[in-house]
Amino acid sequence: MSTLSTSLPGGTWTLGDLTVTRFGYGAMQLAGPGVMGPPADHDSALAVLREAVELGITHIDTSDAYGPRVTNQLIREALHPYPEPLRIVTKVGATRDQQGGWPPARQPEDLRRAVHDNLEALGLDVLDLVNLRLGNAQGPQPGSVAEPFETLVELQRQGLIRHLGVSNATAEQVAEAQAIAPIVCVQNMYNLAYRHDDKLIDELAEKDIAYVPFFPLGGFSPLQSSALSAVASRLGATPMSVALAWLLHRSPNILLIPGTSSTAHLRENVAGAGLSLSGEELAELDKIG
Ligand SMILES: NC(=O)c1ccc[n+]([C@@H]2O[C@H](COP(=O)([O-])OP(=O)(O)OC[C@H]3O[C@@H](n4cnc5c(N)ncnc54)[C@H](OP(=O)(O)O)[C@@H]3O)[C@@H](O)[C@H]2O)c1
């Protein structure tokens, strides 16, 4: 097992045999509007990625569907050759259409191509962790994951992937995947105001499986709640800081991947996530969900 010391809020978590900082970075916001095309400012996008590593973040979340390809190429340009502790987590299972939609691409040949595309775009021989992205833009959808998940297990056996996870998944799909092969994380939508996975988070924590909430700040519609604003103003903090700190308090298996295209916001988020919340504040925030 690798070791890693960090002063980032939340400390570290080990995904399989890979230790990462619980404070990570979600790279989706680096692509152009609607997660399509190049960023408005190429150099600023590179600067955000370099700042993340400078701050000690060792977990970057990406996908070849962002842009498409754009985000992975920016990561490579900014950070390759990658520093040893940095782990890049990607996802496969969706592609992009002309309208910027995210149609599923989960046939075995789609997944094989996507893994090879990620390897090539990121300049890697092995991907640290690949999430099978399920469901659709409306959220998780029921149905068996056996065929696509087994395809990824086959690619893992070939040595192209170290660890597997699932994303946008129902609890039944998480259990089905686990019965086929070990998973080290589940990446689903979750935040202070959207808490469908509360039970799943606790079950995963018991099994030492990470839960990685996407849209921790509300995604494309920033989190808004009077209770959140009230707690934030009492603490002299921003609602975003409180939302991130609450996630770190929520469960030790939660890893943060807040997205931003701004180095200033990145620094603010790192500082804010370290906010200490009292039992009373946590109880008040818990009521939001
Ligand atoms: N598995 C999946 O299906 C899936 C789906 C969606 C996302 N993801 C992953 O999850 C990550 C996080 O999600 P996300 O980036 O969409 O949503 P998010 O982290 O909830 O929110 C990002 C938004 O918050 C803004 N923001 C961040 N910090 C801020 C600050 N300090 N002050 C003001 N605004 C701030 C960003 O704008 P600025 O750029 O202006 O800072 C951006 O608009 C993504 O990067 C991606 O890697 C996965």
All structural domains of the chain with their residue ranges? 12-221+253-260
Judged against a pLDDT cut of 60, whether residue 2 lies above it is answered with no
pTM above 0.95, yes or no: yes
Q: Which atom of ligand 1 is nearest to the CA of 25?
A: 45
Judged against a pLDDT cut of 80, whether residue 135 lies above it is answered with yes
C-alpha 209 to ligand 1 mean position (Å): 23
Judged against a pLDDT cut of 70, whether residue 209 lies above it is answered with yes
Q: Does the Cβ of 139 fall within 6 Å of ligand 1?
A: no
Judged against a pLDDT cut of 90, whether residue 136 lies above it is answered with yes
Judged against a pLDDT cut of 80, whether residue 245 lies above it is answered with yes
C-alpha 29 to ligand 1 mean position (Å): 6
Amino acid at 233: S
How much is the mean pLDDT over the chain? 97
25 is catalytic: no
Considering the candidates 66, 82, 190, 194, report the single residue annotated as catalytic: 66
Span 254-260, average pLDDT = 98
C-alpha 186 to ligand 1 mean position (Å): 17
Spatial separation of the C-alpha atoms in residues 30 and 48, rounded to whole Å: 9
Q: Does the Cβ of 265 fall within 6 Å of ligand 1?
A: yes
Reported as type and span, the H/E element at residue 20 is: strand 18-21
Q: The tokens of 105 are what?
A: 């691409």
Minimal-distance CA residue to ligand 1 atom 44: 26
Tell how strand 87-92 and strand 127-133 pair up. Answer: parallel
The pLDDT of residue 4: 86
Q: Which atom of ligand 1 is nearest to the CA of 131?
A: 1
Span 173-198, average pLDDT = 98
C-alpha 173 to ligand 1 mean position (Å): 25
Span 119-134, average pLDDT = 98
C-alpha 36 to ligand 1 mean position (Å): 15
Minimal-distance CA residue to ligand 1 atom 31: 265
The pLDDT of residue 5: 87
Q: The tokens of 34 are what?
A: 């609607």
Cα dihedral 147, 150, 151, 155 in deg (nearest 10): 180
Compute the Cα dihedral for 270, 264, 186, 126 and give only its sign. Answer: negative
Q: What is the pLDDT of residues 18-49, one digit of tens each?
A: 999 999 999 999 999 999 999 999 999 999 99
Going by C-alpha positions, the residue among 140, 148, 146, 87 that lies closest to residue 114 is 148
Judged against a pLDDT cut of 60, whether residue 270 lies above it is answered with yes
Instruction: List, edge to edge, every strand of the sheet that includes 25-26.
Output: 25-26, 59-61, 87-92, 127-133, 161-167, 185-187, 210-211
Q: Does the Cβ of 253 fall within 6 Å of ligand 1?
A: no
For domain 12-221+253-260, give the fold. Answer: TIM Barrel (3.20.20)
Q: Does the Cβ of 66 fall within 6 Å of ligand 1?
A: no
- pLDDT bin (cut points 50, 70, 90) of residue 89 is very high
- Which of the pair, 5 or 161, is modelled with greater confidence? 161
Q: Does the Cβ of 261 fall within 6 Å of ligand 1?
A: yes
Minimal-distance CA residue to ligand 1 atom 23: 219
Compute the Cα dihedral for 150, 183, 269, 55 and give only its sign. Answer: negative
Q: Does the Cβ of 140 fall within 6 Å of ligand 1?
A: no
